[in-house]
A = this chain, B = another copy of it.
Amino acid sequence: MKQLRSVFSGASVASKNLQWYGSSRCFSNKSTKSSSIDISGVYPPIPTPFTSNGQIDYVKLQENFHTWNASDFAGYVVMGSNGEAVSLKEDEKLDLVRNVKKMSKPTSTIIAGLGLPTTEQTIEICNRVAEEKTANAALIVSPSFYKGQMNELVLRKFYEDVADNSKLPIIVYSVPANTNLDLSSSLVTALAQHPNIIGLKDSGGDIAKISEIVYNVPKDFQVLAGSAGFMLPALLMGCVGGICALANVLGDQVCLLYRLFKDNDLKKAVALQQSLISPNYMVTRRFGVPGLKAAMDLKQGLYGGVCRAPLLSLNDVDEKVLVQTFAKCGYPLVR
């Protein structure tokens, strides 16, 4: 039988003899990767706040970071799906990641969502960010508009070409709820061999697929759960952390869940995980970014605000459902 993957010794991964890349942590043991960044831990995929006239609101963002930096996050994901990346222009993106770098803690790992519809554009923006040293890794969503042509060969070449040419290490991003493409276990396994592809964010949540990927990839390829809804089972099966929309709102609880797992206090971890699923659903599948921003507006120290149209703010009926769901699970939202 294949050698046992050290599922519970993941903590040691970020231990001694660190060779720093930017401010990120890295692996101590022999790596197959060209840059050995440790991306374990919990990351909120931060939403982008906007002023009433539609500009990025850096004052509010600073306030949010004041709150977030008090949590035990490993770092931040900027311009993920929850950051409304598709609604930002290139200059806004570069500016946003610069500000996130400044506002976050020096030890925070910054993962920037930099996937664009073409291979060339993706490489170009990765290298601009790499030059500015404002992020430690690039999260690359699969191109999806021409989904009928996005077979395994095309997607493999896309990711490998990006990885070959990007000065930032690459994290593959599978988010079928947005792209209608669920990157297969065999595709991810193939990509995991590339020295500059260091990990996967899987938001699909098929725990069998995630487990199969962990089983098949090199030991230093790091898989992150893409949601707080299944983070604990994903950690159990060998994921090293999570990028969780819910962490924007319930940062301490998601960090606690991670900590309980690392401390092998599974009984408490299971109870905590169970209580987070319905709230998580409200700020992801059910109400999306508007739901996330509404929940933030109902938490002291956090600002959500409006989304860029066509996304609308949550209406009163939906907000009530969201508030009741959080309350029922033990997380009252009150300003």
Q: Which residues of A contact B (CB under 8 A)?
A: 1-2, 4-5, 7-8, 54, 81, 86-87, 89, 117-121, 143, 145-150, 153-155, 157-158, 161, 177-180, 205-208, 211-212, 214-215, 227, 229-230, 232-233, 236-238, 266-268, 270-271, 273-275, 277-278, 280-281, 285, 287-290, 308-312, 329-330
B146/A273 in contact, CB under 8 A: no
A215 touches B277 (CB 8 A): yes
In chain B, what residue has the closest Cβ to A85? Answer: B145
Say whether B310 contacts A208, CB under 8 Å.
no
Chain B residues whose C-beta falls within 8 Å of the C-beta of A207 in the assembled complex: 205, 207, 230, 233
Known contacts A120-B308, A148-B288, A207-B230; 18 additional CB pairs below 8 A are A2-B274, A2-B275, A2-B330, A7-B266, A7-B267, A7-B270, A81-B145, A81-B146, A145-B179, A147-B178, A149-B289, A149-B312, A157-B310, A157-B312, A208-B227, A208-B281, A211-B229, A236-B270
- Taking the closest CB of chain B, its distance from the CB of A213, in whole angstroms, is 10
Contact at B237–A208, with CB atoms within 8 Å?
Answer: no
Copies in the complex: 4
Report chain B residues within 8 Å CB of A120: 54, 308-309
Asked if A238 and B7 make an inter-chain contact with CB atoms under 8 angstroms apart, the answer reads: no
Is B118 a contact of A309 with CB atoms below 8 Å? yes
Cα distance A5–B266 in the bound complex, in angstroms: 12
Q: Do A211 and B274 touch across chains, with their CB atoms under 8 A apart?
A: yes
A-B contact pairs, 25 of them (CB 8 A): A2-B271, A2-B274, A4-B271, A5-B271, A5-B274, A81-B146, A119-B310, A145-B179, A146-B288, A147-B178, A148-B178, A148-B288, A149-B287, A157-B310, A157-B312, A205-B207, A207-B207, A207-B233, A208-B281, A211-B274, A212-B277, A233-B236, A236-B266, A237-B273, A238-B270
Interface residue from B89, B119, B208, B271 paired with A230 (Cβ < 8 Å): B208
